[in-house]
Chains A and B, each alone.
Chain A
Amino acid sequence: MAQILVWADHDGAVLKDATRNAVTAAAQLGAVHVLVAGSGVAGVAQAAAMISGVAKVLVADDAAYAHGLAENVAPLILGLMADHDAFVAPATTTGKNIAPRVAALLDVAQISEILSVEGPKRFTRPIYAGNAIATVESSDAKLVITVRGTAFAKAGDAGSAQIETIGTTGDRGQSSFIGAEVATSERPELTSARVVVSGGRALKDAPTFEQVLFPLADRLGAAVGASRAAVDAGYAPNDCQVGQTGKIVAPEVYIAVGISGAIQHLAGMKDSKIIVAINKDEEAPIFQIADIALVADLFEAVPALTASL
């Protein structure tokens, strides 16, 4: 049976849900081994060992891996690939940063953001911002793959894999972590939230964006997203951006407020189960894909909606 190495995405303390989607994809290829690389990551390893379908958790605990620096992590993965047939990473910013570096060191083509596994070396993936879907087959001996989380179910918590500590490869001394501005929020994480409330350029400015959208999001227990136009205009931070080059989300309900629906935005949310759109322009492209459409002035409709729930 093929042996698949899955990159565990985490922040040093908490295992990211995207790992679970990647495990589901990897399980279609062979036996799943999860690599937890970081500093002080025993808790993350425990969480990874409980994921259904995981056969083994490999833990590389070293300060050099604390921030997932690609320069330090890629040699570690390269060494492990001697015993694995595929490296699978969630298509998070960490996975997207590391996987191609591994692929080049292995001299194999990477298959980015797979949507489905069609065979041992055959996959579908989106191109042109999801406006076309390509079916590709690899001729390489080993595979390097990133997984679009929204296309695969999250693996559950019924596992009890063994945890194995592995040797480390040290610090290459080429890169170091200086600092981070991490958004802290009581709200659910955007890519795994059940409900997302998202705002566009029509929200006018950052204070208005907050005043209009946050009460609705809080009432629904929703995550907050934004269009690229809203992020570029400074209404919302970059980590809220939904779209081709931002985050890809597929919640149960996506509520698009004052978002016209540029193709780059639709690429990031069109797989949501139910799309609700509120926009005063009845010609807005978002209405062509919305399940529930309300043509209205958002500054009246959203507060009224919040008050009615």
Chain B
Amino acid sequence: MKIMVPVKRVLDYNVKPRVKADGSGVDLANAKMSLNPFDEIAVEEAVRLKEQGIASEVLVVSVGQAKAQDVLRTALAMGADRAILVQCDTEVEPLAIAKILQVIADDEAPGLILLGKQAIDDDSNQVGQMLAALLGRPQGTFASKLVVEGDHVLVTREVDGGLETLRLSLPAIVTTDLRLNEPRYASLPGIMKAKSKPLATKTPADYGVDVTPRLTTLKVSEPAVRGAGIRVADVAGLVVKLRELGVA
């Protein structure tokens, strides 16, 4: 079984985003960029399934600028086998990304598509579900556990009330939550090997997908700033304050 893992290059999660003064977006110039953390978990899960003999090949795909090659190489260094970069210099919305992935999935016929539940830049949380819809296949979102059994997969999902387990027919789309696994660090031999693994570069036009945005971002602004309040000296002082607030 082939596993396809779509990934995204995003602002590193340790970097505090700065809104540009002209309100046109978040300043990414010279900022550290990384593989989206949820996608890293998806790559790790796919590589583990290959190590267990359940998957035969791990294909990673990214839609983005030429520099998205970096995160594809990271995934290859973690153990993915080959990569496709669909190069596009403008921002591509989740629906268009799902359409590109749909064409690739039709062509590659993966048994499982694993991807992060959301990218930590636009926080959309859409691509996996949209891809599942376009392919007409089942989806297991926010997965904290995944067991492949023959022609189906058991997915344990992190839901508001706790956990729930679904049984999905393969091929299926699974999106990863934080607790699915702890991704490995790429080893030095892995990094060296990744340099020679195949990476194909395509364009959205190669897949016949129109990436014209449906949404216009009119402005991006800073959230309301919340200032620090008062310090109380001890528990007694805190109790007084809580009583004033009517909490206790």
Interface on A for B, CB 8 Å cutoff?
Answer: 11, 16, 67, 69-71, 74, 92-94, 96-105, 107-113, 122, 126-140, 172-183, 191, 195, 219-220, 228, 231-232, 237-239, 244-245, 247, 252-253, 263-264, 270, 274-276, 278, 287-296, 301, 304-305, 308-309
B126-153 interface with A by 8 A CB criterion: 126-134, 137-142, 144
What residues of chain A lie closer than 8 Å to B122, measured between beta carbons? 127
Task: Verify A100–B126 contact, CB threshold 8 A.
Answer: yes
User: Chain B at the A interface: mostly helix, strand, loop or mixed?
Assistant: mixed
Task: Verify A179–B165 contact, CB threshold 8 A.
Answer: yes
User: Chain A at the B interface: mostly helix, strand, loop or mixed?
Assistant: mixed
What residues of chain B lie closer than 8 Å to A275, measured between beta carbons? 226, 229
- Residue of A69, A103, A127, A290 near B26 (CB, 8 A) is A127
Task: Verify A308–B235 contact, CB threshold 8 A.
Answer: yes
Given contacts A101-B132, A127-B220, A291-B229, contact A132 B214 (CB under 8 A): no
Task: Verify B247–A220 contact, CB threshold 8 A.
Answer: yes
Q: Give the CA-CA distance A273 to B221 in the complex, in Å.
A: 22
Task: Verify A101–B139 contact, CB threshold 8 A.
Answer: yes
Given contacts A108-B95, A132-B221, A136-B216, contact A294 B231 (CB under 8 A): yes
B143-167 interface with A by 8 A CB criterion: 144, 154, 157-167
- How extensive is the interface on chain B, given as a class? 35 or more
Interface: B105 (CB within 8 A): no
Task: Tell me the number of A-to-B contacts counted with CB atoms below 8 Å.
Answer: 259
* Additional A-B contact list (20), CB under 8 Å, known A93-B141, A135-B217, A294-B238: A93-B158, A97-B129, A100-B127, A100-B129, A110-B130, A127-B122, A132-B220, A133-B220, A176-B166, A177-B164, A180-B162, A232-B178, A237-B162, A239-B159, A239-B161, A289-B227, A290-B228, A292-B238, A293-B230, A294-B231
Task: Verify A139–B157 contact, CB threshold 8 A.
Answer: no
Task: Verify B94–A110 contact, CB threshold 8 A.
Answer: yes
Interface: B121 (CB within 8 A): yes
